[in-house]
Amino acid sequence: MTAAFSPGGAPAGPMLQVRDLHVQIATGRGTVRAVDGVSFEVPRGEALGLVGESGSGKSMTLRSILGVLPPTASVTSGQIILDGRDLVPLKQTDLNRIRGPKMAMIFQEPMSALNPVMRVGAQIAEGPMLHQGLSRAKAAERALDLMRRVGIPHPERRMRSYPHEFSGGMRQRVMIAIALACEPEVILCDEPTTALDVTIQDQILRLLARLCRESGVSLLFVTHDLPVVAQICQQVAVMYGGRLAEYGPVQDVLHDPRHPYTLGLVRSAPDFDNVREALVPIPGSPPSLISPPDGCRFHPRCKFAEEDCQVVEPPMKPLPGGRATACLHYERTIESLEAERAGQLDPVDLQVAAERPDEAAPAAGSAP
């Protein structure tokens, strides 16, 4: 089924491929199926955005790719294929040869992800010394070069500084330098700009985009921020309740959603070109992943839901244009969009608002 929405044209296969991944977390209240059958791929040299609200399983997906799941969580089935090699069965020591030289991670909080008592130059040089066997002097040279590439002013002096002496944006540049240090082929980003203010966020995103273009590195970009995905990614995968809801080229998916959840996400985000009176929230709240609803996970909140949605687990249905959706009635999304574009208020929206006045407050944890 992964072949169905492969974008095609990648000569040597995708850089990173996740196939039918299941991650479970053991808790006191039961087993949480945090990731439940997710498949996607990151083509070489491209950026895939993985979006979804908190608890949709995107961070767990990322951590299972790196093999740094918390002790209570584990990959129960599925494959994570990096450059033709399945990472799931690998031992920690084998993974340690891949983490760094093949894939690297950029974290959300650059302050807490940097060691507070280590000079930043040493933190950048650590990977090259360990993975590429560079001497201390050579590694320091590499660190200096990387700090220049990520745009840290006065790198010779700043190398000897500690993380607390940097501003938030500069710290994130240090994180990027650390991620790039061993020349990885994939960089995984966990909401790398969420902790930054908007101007710095834009600088960091431009930097990431430029570095990826220059070095041909692939990106897996986890975020809940739709404009960020639109800015940096070519492909987007929307996650809901531990599953994929929709997949496809980013502009198509965000302008022309084929899944009611994506539509809800897009409508609940502010739009400055076309200011609406009020944002349209998605009613209800995200599903419990201990006992998820039968059928489509989104059906209790879906205004288009029909009876079969409560029973049938929707498969990932391939659509033209390299897209796919996990919705049985995705045509209704198109109808709703066309109605809105024709200037009419969506009759279903009005109906929903009338039926559930108590849930008018934005319950969905979507976007900013």
Partner 1 sequence: MSITAGAGDQFAPTGGALVELAPRPADRGVQARRATWYKNPALMAGLIITGIVLIAAIIAPLITFYNPITQNLTDALQGPSAAHWLGTDQFGRDTWTRLVYGARLDLRIAFIAVLFPFVLGTVLGAIAAYFGGWFDLVIMRVVDVVVAFPFFVLLIALVFVLGPGARSIYIAITLVGWVSYARIVRGEILVAKRQEYVLAAQSAGLSNTRIMGRHLLPNVISQAIIYGMSDIVQDILAIVTLGYLGLGIPPPAAEWGSMINGGQNFLSTHWELTTFPGLAVILVGLGLSLIGDGLADILRPGQ
Q: Which is nearer to partner 1, 111 or 312 (CB)?
A: 111
**Interaction with partner 1 in 98-117: which residues (CB under 8 A)?**
98-101, 104-105, 107, 109, 112-117
- Residue that has been written with the tokens 């919705």 in this structure: 327
**Interaction with partner 1 in 250-309: which residues (CB under 8 A)?**
250-251, 254-255, 266-267, 269, 271-274
Q: Does 245 bind partner 1 (CB under 8 A)?
A: no
**Which one among 160, 197, 291, 350 touches partner 1, defined by CB under 8 A?**
160
**Which one among 162, 285, 329, 363 touches partner 1, defined by CB under 8 A?**
162
Q: Does 54 bind partner 1 (CB under 8 A)?
A: no
Which among 82-90, 246-254, 291-299, 349-357 is the span making contact with partner 1, rule CB under 8 A? Answer: 246-254
Q: Which is nearer to partner 1, 340 or 359 (CB)?
A: 340
Pick from 97, 214, 112, 221: which is nearest to 163 by CA?
112
Q: How many CB atoms lie within 10 A of CB 343?
A: 6
Residues in binding contact with partner 1, number by CB under 8 A: 73
Q: Give least dist CB 291 to partner 1, A.
A: 28
CA distances to 258, 279, 341 from 274, rounded to whole Å, are 21, 12, 12
Q: Do 239 and 38 form a contact (C-beta atoms < 8 A)? A: yes
**Which one among 3, 28, 93, 357 touches partner 1, defined by CB under 8 A?**
93
**Which one among 3, 157, 278, 320 touches partner 1, defined by CB under 8 A?**
157
Q: Give least dist CB 258 to partner 1, A.
A: 15
**Interaction with partner 1 in 136-155: which residues (CB under 8 A)?**
151, 153-154
- Beta bridge partners, 85, equal 82
Residues 6+ apart with CB under 8 A from 189: 105, 106, 208, 219, 220, 221, 222, 223
Q: Which is nearer to partner 1, 266 or 328 (CB)?
A: 266
Pick from 151, 223, 170: which is nearest to 192 by CA?
223
Q: Which is nearer to partner 1, 3 or 199 (CB)?
A: 199
**Interaction with partner 1 in 198-227: which residues (CB under 8 A)?**
199, 202-203, 205-207, 209-210, 213, 226-227
Q: Give least dist CB 231 to partner 1, A.
A: 4
